[in-house]
Structure 1
Amino acid sequence: MTQTATADPRLGARRPALSPSRASDFKQCPLLYRFRAVDRLPELPTKAQLRGTLVHSVLERLFALPQPDRLPHRAKSLLEPVWTELSAQNPDWAGLFGDEEPADVAEWLGGAEKLLDSYFALEDPRRFDPEACELHVEIELTSGVRLRGYVDRLDVAPTGELRVVDYKTGAAPREIGEAKAMFQMKFYAVVLWRLRGIVPRQLKLMYLTDGQSLAYTPDEPELRRFERTLEAIWEAILRAGKTGDFRPNKSRLCDWCAHQSRCPSFGGTPPDYPGWPEPDPGEETPLDRAD
């Protein structure tokens, strides 16, 4: 059910763009943005991140089933085959489990089952059909900034109202996680507003770890202000990109950073600046979208 909101063959190679994850990285720490988007340093995912990616993929497959079949046991039956498929596509993911006993892997999959239980406690997927899951959206603003991202799910009411849904499975501190998540949702709201001319009626975050949801209704003036914020972030990124001056910003989120050994704030030394990447420093990964 993956769909693409733009498909212009005249674009050729993908142009540099801003994604919600990379914009959030730069806001959090310009050096983190550089490590991920410019240096493209590898990061070993955690098992929790992989579990989130797995659950996102299972929910996407669930909505591909006929409405009456969207039941908890069907969702859980998808876990093992989807994990087999994902680990075949990403062999390093399976390597995280090393020589662990089958019982340990089963326990990890059991954690994914609990996330699915939380999902079904929040809504009944048999009652509606989303317009799209894992929707690729992309647009260039009049300022020249290109925005790109993936929406977990887009629901469209018979009246035409839009609901943007995002599943959250991570364990970052709630106040920090909510701020980052709402930044991401407003990003999607701006893109959909500019693509369709409709301000989304609702931005909905579904927290599958604790079985709670958070809904927010944006308005057009707010999205205009947020659009200007995104343009300012991109301008700051381009300025830093010309010189390589991506400075660290120490915060509580450093505890989750995979690059402390390279960070001056922790006594490390970044690699030599490789120059601004082409053609596309804005790409998101499945792990970004599962965070």
Structure 2
Amino acid sequence: MAQIATEEAQPGSRTAARRPALSPSRASDFKQCPLLYRFRAVDRLPEVPTKAQLRGTLVHSVLERLFALPQHDRLPGRARELLAPAWSELTGERPEWAELFAGEDDAQVAEWLSSAEKLLDSYFALEDPRRLDPEACELHVEIELDSGVRLRGYVDRLDVAPTGEIRVVDYKTGTAPREIGEAKAMFQMKFYAVVLWRLRGIVPRQLKLMYLTDGQSLAYTPDEPELRRFERTLEAIWQAILKAGRTGDFRPSPSRLCDWCAHQSLCPSFGGTPPDYPGWPEPDPGEETPLDRAD
């Protein structure tokens, strides 16, 4: 079996290995169900995305492009104009996404794009991007804690005030969640808050979730003692992952969320048999996909 820990590749090597890391999506997977984590991070089983997931990825891409425009040009009509070229670029990178629309006529595809327009309109009802000057969009953040845990993820948007205060913004293309969904979303935001706090030495002033389907925003203000506790939670999750990784003992944890799992046929809780354990992945089980980031 492959070793749990890996080292960075030497400079000049053909492929730079990245050490195993914990992302908010994969940490959330393990909390929800260790076997789901294994299927996604270790076995890397393919999952066919839904059109709703693709729409979320598209809207995130458009909003990133919108903030690359001059402030005065960040208008609803301009955002709609960005939809088609953004979708063309996304499907150029991942042609299998376009296959979900095989057999559909132009009118049906246009209707799907129109549903993305509605999400963009909802965004503009929540805030005016012409009044904002983000430091970064789709920001890759990564840090290794003193405990040796490497944290990695992508922040949808980072706002920094002239006074230095930080706001972390995350777009959600679904509706404002009930209890389980809200806890999962806030777990993600606290993950980013810990990374930014350790990178910059500043506790984010606000964590903001923007739900575009129903036009709601949720804002939360963390404090340093809370982030210290959450950091210990992340360290405990990583240790549990490493322990499971040594033996391949990733157990299922049935819940209501199983209804949305793409891997029920392989899950013992549903009479299935997982594939043979391939060993701990090399070099990196912590990467998030664009679909993860568009949740």
TM-score strictly above 0.5: yes
**Match for residue 166 of structure 1?**
170
1:59 aligns with 2:63: yes
**Match for residue 119 of structure 1?**
123
**Match for residue 42 of structure 2?**
38
**Match for residue 263 of structure 1?**
267
Which residue among 68, 74, 98 is the counterpart of 1:70? Answer: 74
**Match for residue 234 of structure 1?**
238
| Cα distance change, pair 148–16 in 1 and its aligned pair in 2 (3 A) | same
**What residue identity is the alignment partner of 1:20?**
P
Structure 1: distance between partners of 2:210 and 2:200: 24
**Match for residue 212 of structure 1?**
216
Displacement after TM superposition at 1:54 (Å): 0.1
1:139 aligns with 2:170: no
Q: 2:175·2:211 contact (CA, 8 Å) conserved in 1?
A: no
**Match for residue 187 of structure 2?**
183
User: 1:40 aligns to what SS in structure 2?
Assistant: coil
Structure 2: distance between partners of 1:248 and 1:96: 29
Displacement after TM superposition at 1:128 (Å): 1.4
Q: 1:155·1:164 contact (CA, 8 Å) conserved in 2?
A: yes
Structure 2: distance between partners of 1:138 and 1:231: 15
Displacement after TM superposition at 1:279 (Å): 0.4
**Match for residue 225 of structure 2?**
221
Displacement after TM superposition at 1:282 (Å): 0.4
**What residue identity is the alignment partner of 1:96?**
L
Q: Higher mean Cα deviation, 12-21 or 163-172?
A: 163-172
| Cα distance change, pair 172–238 in 1 and its aligned pair in 2 (3 A) | farther
Displacement after TM superposition at 1:9 (Å): 9.5
| Cα distance change, pair 189–260 in 1 and its aligned pair in 2 (3 A) | same
Displacement after TM superposition at 1:96 (Å): 0.4
**Match for residue 103 of structure 1?**
107
Q: 1:185·1:203 contact (CA, 8 Å) conserved in 2?
A: yes
- Across the aligned residues of Structure 1 and Structure 2, the Cα RMSD in angstroms comes to 1.4
Structure 1: distance between partners of 2:70 and 2:177: 37
| Cα distance change, pair 97–219 in 1 and its aligned pair in 2 (3 A) | same
Identity of aligned residues (%): 87
Displacement after TM superposition at 1:177 (Å): 1.6
Displacement after TM superposition at 1:213 (Å): 0.2
Mapping for residues 142-161 of structure 1, pairs under 5 Å: 142-161=146-165
Give ranges in structure 2 of 5+ residues lacking alignment. 1-7
Give ranges in structure 1 of 5+ residues lacking alignment. 1-7
1:20 aligns with 2:24: yes
Q: 1:49·1:170 contact (CA, 8 Å) conserved in 2?
A: no
Q: 2:168·2:206 contact (CA, 8 Å) conserved in 1?
A: yes
Which residue among 172, 181, 197 is the counterpart of 1:193? Answer: 197
Structure 2: distance between partners of 1:170 and 1:95: 23
| Cα distance change, pair 9–120 in 1 and its aligned pair in 2 (3 A) | farther
Structure 2: distance between partners of 1:63 and 1:10: 37
1:288 aligns with 2:292: yes
Displacement after TM superposition at 1:44 (Å): 0.3
**What residue identity is the alignment partner of 1:183?**
F
**What residue identity is the alignment partner of 2:285?**
P
**Match for residue 4 of structure 1?**
none
Q: Deviations over 1:29-69 (max 9, x none)?
A: 00000000000000000000000000000000000000000
Q: Higher mean Cα deviation, 10-19 or 119-128?
A: 10-19
Aligned residues: 284
Structure 1: distance between partners of 2:206 and 2:10: 33
- Tell me the TM-score normalized by structure 2: 0.94
Structure 1: distance between partners of 2:177 and 2:286: 25
- Tell me the TM-score normalized by structure 1: 0.95
User: 1:78 aligns to what SS in structure 2?
Assistant: helix
